[in-house]
Amino acid sequence: MEDYILIDKTVFFPENGILAIGDLHVGYEHMLKQSGMNVPHTQTKDIINNFKGIFLKLKEKNYKIKKIVFLGDIKHFFGYEKKEKLALKEVYDFLRQSFSEQDIIFIKGNHDKFGYFGKKLKNYYVRNGIIFLHGNLKYEKVYEKPIKTVVMAHLHPSIILSDKKGVKKEKFKCFLIGNYEKKRFIVLPSFLEITDGIAVNDYREDYSKYSSIIPKEALMKFNVFVIGKDEIYEFGKLEKI
Amino acid sequence: MTKILQAEKSESQDIQKILHPLVKEWFFSKFKAFSQTQEYGVLNIWQRKDILISAPTGGTKTLTAFLSILNYLVIQAQEQTLENRVYAVYTSPLKALSNDIHKNLVEPLQEINELAKKKNIKLQEIRVALRTGDTTASEKAKMTKKVPHILITTPESLAIILTSKKFVESLKATEFLIVDEIHALDNKRGTYLSLTIERLNELSNLWPTKIGLSATIEPLEEAAKFLVGIDDKREIRIAKVPLDKKIDIDVLTPVDDLIEDENIYPSFYGLLESLIQAHKTTLIFTNTRSATERIVNTLKEKFPTEYGDDNISAHHSSLSKEHRFNVEENLRQGKLKVVVCSTSLELGIDIGYIDLVLMVGSPKSSARALQRMGRAGHKLHEVAKGRFIATDRDELVECCIIQKEMIEQKINKITFPKNCLDVLSQQIYGMAIYKIWDIDELFSTIRKSYCYSTLTKKDFLDIISYLSGEYDLEKNNVYDKIWYDKETRQIGKKGKMARVIYLTNLGTIPDESFVNVKLASTGEVIGHLDETFLERMKKRDVFVLGGKKYLYNYTKGMNVYVNSAEKLSPTIPSWISETLPLSFSSAMEIGEFRYSMNRQLTANKSKKEVIKFVMETLYVKETTAETIYNYFYEQHKFIGIPTKDTLLVERYKSDKKYLVFHSMYGRRVNDALSRALGFLVGEVEGRDVEIGINDNGFYIAGEKLNIEKAFNQLTKENIESILKEAIEKTDVLARRFRHCATRSLMILRNYKGQTRTVGKQQLKSHFLMHAVRKITEDFPILREAKREVLEDLMDIENAKKVLDWIKEGRVKMKIQETQLPSPFGSNLILQGQSDLIRIEDRQEFLKRIHQEHLKAIKEAMD
C-alpha cells in the first residue's frame, strides 16, 4: 500500500492530508486573447469544477484535506496582467470557502514572479519527509537525509499511446513516478485541461531546455501512470513504452 | 436571373471605325489584322457590354480587353478631358502576371505617345499603376494624389482599396473592370473576388463594364454569371473563341514493358535527356514539388556535362519569390535549356519561346493539360508540342484518356465554391469598415454575388451573430468585430483597430509551413514536410518522402532528423498530400473505355483486333496500345474488368481482411464514399477501420467487414450526415478548421504587429475547436470547415450521383473472393493513401491498450 493516492491530475497524501496540484497556468486563455483570438472563456470555470470533482471523490473515500499545495506556474504570464489576476482571484476565493489562508500554499514556478494575495511564494514546502517544489531548480534541502519523497510539476508529462500497428495514436496526461538519487520522485501532469502537455516518449534531443532537476536517463526508468476518465492506469517503465 | 447571350463577331472595318487615328496607326504598325478574339471583344467592350472572353492561351486576350479602353482614354487625352480618377481596374489572381501586364500595357502606351509626339498631337498623360501587396506606402500615397487611370491589382489588394478612406473615392466612377484568369478562380479566392466585385458595384455611381478573360473552360455560363453576379437586370455576352492552335501530342513510356523491365528509371532519365536535347527549350511539369527537385538533381548528376546551374532550373511554390522571378526572366531571355516545375508555371505570364512541354505523370484533367500545352509556342499560330510520360500502367491509361479528351475537345467542368461562411465573415467585416449598413441592404448586396446567390438568411444571421460576439453569452470581453443594433437594424464596425486588423489579416490562402527533413548521419537535406504532418509523428515512425522511406528520429527547431528505412513498411499515413485529384469527367471517360474494352475481350476478339481498337479509340501508337491491351487482358483473365455499370469489389485476406472497390470516379468521390462506408462498417464493431484511396478506387481493411449491410444503409440522403460524423475526429477537419478560423478572423495571423507561426495557429485552432464545440456543435465556422471538406476537398455531389446509380440499378455491385489483389487493384493497395476512421472512444482505446500492455508485461515475465 502506497502512502499516496493519485486522484485525477493531483496527488493526495492521506497521512498529512496534503493535496498537491500541478501547473495551473491560469491566464492561458488571456494569452490567447491577447494574441487576437476570438475565444470564449471557460478556463476559470473548468478549474473550479475540476476541484469540486476532486474534493467530492476524496470525501466519498472519507479523507479530509488539510492543506492544498500548488506546485508553481500558477499563472501563465511572466509579467503582470490584470485579467489573469482576476481569474486567479476567482479560483482563490473558491478555495477559501473550504480552506484557511495558511492552508493554501503557493510554490514558486518559473512563470511566477510576485506573491499572490499578500502571500509570499515559497521555494519549497516540507512536511514529514516529503518535499514539494516546482522542479526547475535544485535546492540543497532536497538532498537532506530525512527527505524521502520529492513531489514536483514543471515537466507537464503526457504520453502518446499507440496500438500495435502504430496507426492510431492518442495523447494522455500522465504521472511519472520513480527513484533518483535514493529519493522517490512523483512528477505531476499539468492541471490545465486544454493542453495535453509534452509527450515523454517523444522527449526530443533538447530535453535539457526544460531545465529539470531530473536527468533524462533517470526519467526513462520512471513508471508511467496514465490518467483516464475515472481511473488511473499503470503502464510500467517509460523506456519500455 | 442574369441573362446570357452569345457575343456577335464584328467586321474589321466596324472596329476600325471606332479607333482613334493614333491607336489605329499604332495597332496596324504592330499587327496585320485583328485576331478572332479582338473581332469578338473590342466592339462589344466599346459599347459597354459585359463580356466573357474564353480563348486558348497564346491568343490576344489581354490586348483585346485593353484596346477599347486605351482608345477611350486616348480620345479623352487628346480632348484634354481626362479626370483625376480610375477609369479601369484590372485584376488577376497572379502577382507575377500583374507585373507582366504592367509591362505589356505601359509599352503600347509609350509607343502611342511617341507616335503622338511625332505628329505633334498633344496628349494628356495616361497613367497606369500597379497596386499589390508589395506596393510601398509612399507609392500608395502618390496614387492618392495622382490617381492612375488604369489600376492593375490583385483580388486581395482590390478588397483593401475598397476599405481605404481616401483612395476609394477615386473608384466611384470606375467604367471598366477586367477580371483575368477566371479559370484559376475556382477556389475561395474566387468566392472572395465575387463578393469584392459586388462591393465595387455597390459603391460605384455607374455600372462598371465587366470584361472577363479565361482559358478554355466549361461551363462558360457559370463563369459568366460569376463575373456579373445574379440579378434580373444584368446580362452578359459570351465569346467562345475556338481553338485554332494546332497541337502535336503523344503519350510516351520510358520502356515498352512497364511491369517486367527493371530499367524503368534509368530509361526514364534517358528519355528526358533525348527529348530535351532534340529541342531548344523544354518545360517539364511534374505535379509535385518533391518530384521537381528530384528530376532536376538527377539530370544534373547523370548528365553533368549537359546540365548545370546555368541551363536547368526548378520552379515551384516553395522556392523564394526572387528565385522564381529569375527563372521566369531567364526563360524569357532564352537562357535556359530546361525548366522543371510542379504546377507553378501553368498559368499566365509570357515565358518566352518554349518548343516542348513534357508532362511527367498524369495532369489529371484535360483543361489542365490544355493549359500546360498552351505554354508551348505561345504565339497563336505556332504548333504546340507536348508529350505525356507515363511510368506505370494506370498512369498510361489515364494519360491516353486525357489525350483523347483533348483531341476531341472535351473539357472538364469547374465549379466555384459557394456560400462559404468564412469568406463571408471577412467580407462583412470589410464592408462594415467601409460604412454603416442597413442589414437588409447588406444581405441583398451579398446575394447578388454569384457565389452567394443562394445564401440562406439563417447562415447570414449566424455570421452576423458570430461577428458581433453573440455566441459568447457569458462574458462580453470577447473580441467583437462588428456591432448590430436590432432596433435600427444597422450594422457597423467595432474597435479602432478594425481597419488595421482587416488589412493585415485579409486573404483566403492559408499559411502552410514546411520543416526540413535531414539525414541524421550526414545532415543532408532530403526534402520538406508539412508542419502539420510532423505533429502526428513519434519516434520510430516510418514515412515516405520523395518515393523513399525514412525512420523518424528527432526534431530540432525547424529540422527533422531521419534515417533511411528501406526495409520497413510505413506506419504513418500520408493523407496530407499535394497529389492532384483526377477530374470526375476524365474518370468517367476511363470507365467508358473499360466498358468497351470489356466488350471487346468478352467477345473473344483476337489480340490484333483489340489492339487496333485501342489505337483507334485512344489515338495511340501500336506499342502503347499493346501495353494497354496486356494490362486489360490480365485483369480480364484474373477476375474480369470493372466497368461503368459494374462496381467490382474484391475480397481477400492477408494480415487482415481487405475489400477493394474498383470505383472509377476519381479520388474526391472515392474519398467521400470510402469514409462513409468505412464509418458504417466500423460502427457495427465499435472499432477503427483503415481505408485507402486513389483515383481508381478505394479499399477498406479491418477485422470483420459486413459490407453488404453498410452499402444498403448508405443513401444519397444520409451520406452527408454520415460523413459529417465520420470526419469529426480527423486531422483533416482540424486543419481545415484552422484555415476557416483564420479566414473568418477568429485566429488572427497578424495582430499588433506580430505574426503568428503556423504551429501556433494550429495550437490555437485545436483549442478553439474544443471551445466552439462547447458552445454549439452548429457553430457557423465549424460548419464551414465541414462544408469545405465535403464539397471542396471531397466531391459529395458526384458521390450522391453514384449512390443514385447504384440504387437505380444502373451500376451493379459484384463481390468476388480473390487470393491476391487483381492487376487493377494492386496499385491501390501499394500506393493508395490511407487513413483511419476513428470510431473507438478515447477512453475505450486507453483501456484496450492498457490490457494489451499488461499482457505483454506478463508474457515477458513468464
Angle of CA points B838, B840, B842, to nearest 5°: 100
> Among A104, A139, A100, A107, which Cα is nearest to A121's?
A107
Judging contacts by C-beta atoms under 8 Å, the chain A residues touching residue B475 are 40-41
Q: What is the pLDDT of residues A76-122, one digit of tens each?
A: 766 666 777 888 888 999 999 999 999 999 998 887 777 777 778 88
Please, what sign has the CA dihedral across residues B695, B697, B702, B705?
positive
Q: How many CB atoms lie within 10 A of CB B545?
A: 17
Lowest-confidence pick of A86-100, A166-180, B262-276, B505-519: B505-519
Which range has the top average pLDDT, A25-29, B162-166, B198-202, B656-660? Answer: B198-202
Q: What is the dihedral of CA B667, B672, B675, B681, to 10 degrees?
A: -120
Q: What's residue B258's pLDDT? A: 81
Give the pLDDT of residue B381: 61
CB atoms within 10 A of CB B308: 11
pLDDT tens by residue, B41-56 = 999 999 999 999 998 7
A109 compared with B101, residue with greater pLDDT: A109
**Residue B825 contacts by C-beta under 8 Å, 6 or more apart in sequence?**
B650, B660, B662, B697, B699
* Residue of higher predicted confidence among B187 and A197: B187
Q: Which domains does chain B have, with CATH numbers?
A: 3-240 (3.40.50.300), 247-407 (3.40.50.300), 440-504 (no CATH), 514-564 (no CATH), 645-726+782-862 (no CATH)
Helices B439-447 + B421-434 axis angle, to 10 = 130
| Minimal C-alpha gap between A119 and chain B (Å) | 29
Q: Which residue has the cell 473539357?
A: B411
> Strands B646-653, B812-817: parallel, antiparallel or unpaired by DSSP?
parallel
Q: How far is B547 from chain A (nearest CA, A)?
A: 20
- Please check the confidence at residue B575 and state whether its pLDDT lies above 50: no
- Span B339-353, mean pLDDT? 80
- Polymer length of chain B: 862
Identify which of A35, A41, A163 has the shortest CB distance to residue B849: A163
CATH of the domain at A44: 3.60.21
Per-residue confidence (pLDDT) for residue A188, from 0 to 100: 95
Which residues of B fall within a CB distance of 8 Å from A199? 538
pLDDT of residue B234: 95
Residue A145 pLDDT: 85
pLDDT of residue B476: 35
> Distance from first CA to last CA of chain A, Å, rounded?
25
Taking only the tens place, the pLDDT of each residue in A199-239 is 776 654 556 555 678 888 888 889 999 998 888 998 888 87
pLDDT digits (tens, 9 = 90+) for B303-313: 989 988 889 98
User: Is residue B833 over pLDDT 70?
Assistant: no
Question: Are the beta carbons of B784 and B739 closer than 8 angstroms?
Answer: no
Nearest-neighbour CA in chain B from A240: distance (Å): 10
- Tell me the C-alpha to C-alpha distance, in Å, between residue A36 and each of A58, B478, B630: 40, 10, 61
Of B311, B41, B298, the C-alpha closest to B176 is B41
Q: What whole-number percentage of chain B has pLDDT above 70?
A: 87
Which residue in the set A39, A164, A206 is minimally distant from B771, CB to CB?
A39
Residue B110 buriedness (CB in 10 A; 0-12 / 13-18 / 19+): exposed
pLDDT higher than 70, residue B765: no
Q: Please, are residues B220 and B227 in contact by the beta-carbon 8 Å criterion?
A: no
With CB atoms and an 8 Å threshold, state whether B748 touches A35.
yes
The DSSP bridge partners found for residue B814 are B648
> Is the CB of A40 less than 8 angstroms away from the CB of B848?
no
Domain count, chain A: 1
Read off the pLDDT of residues B261-288 as tens digits, 9 standing for 90 and up: 778 888 999 999 999 999 999 999 998 7
- Strands in B3-6's sheet, in edge-to-edge order, are B3-6, B235-240, B51-54, B209-214, B176-179, B88-91, B150-153, B128-131
Q: What confidence tens digit (pLDDT) does each residue in B426-482 have?
A: 999 999 999 999 999 999 999 999 999 999 999 999 999 888 877 653 343 345 788
The answer to whether residue B759 scores a pLDDT higher than 60 is no
A168/B845 Cβ within 8 A: yes
Closest CA–CA distance from residue B855 to any residue of chain A (Å): 11
User: Residue B103 pLDDT more than 60?
Assistant: yes
* Total Cβ atoms within 10 A of residue B602: 11
- Average pLDDT, rounded, for chain A: 83
**pLDDT tens for each residue of B610-651:** 999 999 999 999 999 999 999 999 999 999 999 999 999 999
Contacts of B488 (CB under 8 A, 6+ apart): none
Q: Is the pLDDT of residue B805 over 60?
A: yes
Pick from B108-112, B577-581, B803-807: least confident: B577-581
ipTM over 0.90: no
Backbone angles phi, psi at B519, to 5 degrees: -75, 130
> How far apart are the C-alpha atoms of B79 and B108, rounded to whole Å?
20
Determine contact, residues B306/B272, Cβ cutoff 8 Å: no
pLDDT at residue B587, as a whole number: 96
Whether the predicted pLDDT of B532 surpasses 80: no
In sequence order, the 6+-apart residues with CB closer than 8 A to the CB of B858 are: none
Least confident window among B120-124, B138-142, B451-455, B526-530: B526-530
H/E stretch holding B3 reads strand B3-6
The whole-number pLDDT of residue A80 equals 64
Cβ–Cβ under 8 Å, residues B692 and B699 = yes
Determine contact: B770 vs chain A, CB below 8 A: yes
Domain span including residue A110: 5-240
- Cα(B608)–Cα(B604) distance, integer angstroms: 11
Does residue B256 register a pLDDT over 60? yes
Nearest Cα of chain B lies from the Cα of A165 at a distance, in angstroms, of 7
Interchain contact, A36 vs B748, CB within 8 Å: yes
Interface probe for A, chosen from B568, B841, B850 (most Cβ of A below 10 Å), is: B850
Nearby residues of B437 by Cβ (< 8 Å), 6 or more positions away: B431, B490, B491, B492
Identify the pLDDT of residue B349: 65
**DSSP letter for each residue of B305-322:** TT--TTTEEEE-TTS-HH
How much is the pLDDT for B622?
94
Report how many helices (DSSP H) and strands (DSSP E) chain B contains, helices first: 31, 30
Question: Cβ–Cβ of B774/A228 closer than 8 Å?
Answer: no
If interface means Cβ-Cβ distance under 8 Å, which residues of chain A face chain B? 32-33, 35-42, 83, 160-170, 172, 194-195, 199, 201-202, 204-206, 226, 228-229, 233, 235-236, 241
What integer pLDDT is reported at residue B26 of this predicted model? 95
In this prediction, residue A170 carries a pLDDT of 78
pLDDT band at B841 (very low <50, low <70, confident <90, very high): low
pTM attached to this predicted model: 0.79
